[in-house]
Amino acid sequence: MSALLRELLTAPRVVPADGPRLAEAYKRVGGPPRYWRSPSYLASDSANRIIEVDGCLLLLRVKILHGRPVAYLLVPPMGPSVNRERHVLRACMEEGVSVKLSAIDAEEYEVPWTIERGNVEYLYAGGAAVGRRGQARRTGLNRLYRNIDEGHLQLHSRPGLDVDMAQACVACADTWYRQRHAASGTRRVVAAFAAMQGVEQHAYVVTADDRVVGLSLSEVIGPGHVARVCEVHDYAEPLAAQLTHALHELDCRGWNGWRLTMGGAVGVPGLAAHKAVGLMGEPLQLGTPAGMVPLTIDQYRAATAPAQEALL
């Protein structure tokens, strides 16, 4: 059992306070960003683990899947140079820790990789929707503006969230998840977004009678690139029926000239949803390093047993 594998499998869990640390690591990367998830999103999930290895910040997930241990980096290593990142990445791969790579990553790190079918990240050009595909977005935005003019809704556009607005946005997120009968994780995302420092952000918040009925949060992830952190709205609000389309259009117009990502690989259902709101961007194929030797359950137990015994 290597010391590196033990460190990776028992790394401390992420807390929202790690957000600025992640944002600072993003800034160290020159050229096009290779990290398509926003710092706020990554810092919001306590299942993620964070550790620094040889000057590179690593963010990883460790879990048991169908009785087998799985460990993978959520983004490539974040370090002071590509050479340092390449060295750390290869060390992780030798220990059975995988990572999703784009074609840009594989070329930079000089590692063989295997394309994962249906696992694609789409990069969208910021700007107003045009053509037939963008009709739903334009219609939703026109409807939003009409309700604002009639005094039914209010639109707030601001660089981030203050404490009061963050609490109201968390309440909207909780409502959205109850309507979808799913576990709420967006309250943590909103809290991490509000606590973030050192990164350019933007928030669109739609209210009705001083109650938040929809919101879209985004933040810069690199030169000319921005990631959408989250977007939710209250399905029970009749005036918010096309709010998803309107928020998509507001984001694209607000970041005109930028490249946008929705913050994660898109499978078949996600791609269908993006087509429905007129978003069809440049595909960025994602894959995993070839020839990876997976972790064994014995390796996992040997690395984590001391940590588990300490909790008893």
Q: Residue 112: what pLDDT?
A: 84
Listed by start position, the domains of the chain span: 3-122+286-311, 123-284
Sole residue written with tokens 């079918």:
117
HSE on the CB side for 5, CA within 13 Å?
A: 23
259-261/225-233 β-pairing: parallel
Sole residue written with tokens 């000057």:
55
Q: Mind listing the pLDDT tens digit for each residue in 112-122?
A: 887 766 567 77
Give the residue with greater pLDDT, 72 vs 268.
72
Nearest CA among 219, 232, 230 for reference residue 39: 219
Instruction: Say if CB 40 and CB 219 are below 8 A apart.
Output: yes
Question: Domain 123-284 belongs to what architecture?
Answer: 3-Layer(aba) Sandwich (3.40)
Average pLDDT of the chain is 83
pTM greater than 0.75: yes
- Cα 284 → chain centroid: 15
> Lowest mean pLDDT: which of 51-55, 209-213, 257-261?
257-261
Q: Is the pLDDT of residue 93 over 80?
A: yes
Name the 3-class secondary structure at 17: helix
Give the residue with greater pLDDT, 33 vs 44.
44
Task: Give the pLDDT mean for 2-21.
Answer: 88
Task: Give the pLDDT mean for 217-241.
Answer: 86
Give the residue with greater pLDDT, 305 vs 94.
94
